[in-house]
Amino acid sequence: MRMKFAVAGLIAGPSLALAQDDVMASRFGNTIVTHTESGHEVHMYYKPDHTFTGKVVDVDFGLKGTWAVSAGTVCLTYNPPPPTVTNPVCQPVVSHGVGDTWTVGKNTVTLVKGIQ
């Protein structure tokens, strides 16, 4: 099974860390839903303590690990990494609001309200 994921870095100092975490704030308590190029639906849940959980809905596969933001990039370190994934997985990150939809590579991502 081949799965491709869109997702999340390293933090430099306390004040810089707070500013960089703001880009993630709208994700806390909500769900990032990614429809991947390979046809999977991935739900990700980010917490302010720099951990995340998630699931690949159509194959009942769980995800967990840590996230960090640095210089406009969010990096995810999976524990354990899913098949075909090498840690860390880093992508550009910008702030989004609930209801926003955007693309990361060939994946479509939506921020939905609540835990789905």
Please answer whether residues 112 and 30 qualify as being in contact, where contact means their C-beta atoms are separated by less than 8 angstroms. yes
Q: What are 22's two structure tokens? A: 């703001």
Q: What are 56's two structure tokens? A: 């690949």
Q: What is the pLDDT of residues 26-35, one digit of tens each?
A: 999 999 999 9
Look at residue 51 and tell me whether its pLDDT is greater than 90.
yes
**Mean pLDDT, range 48-75, rounded to an integer:** 94
What pTM was computed for the model?
0.80
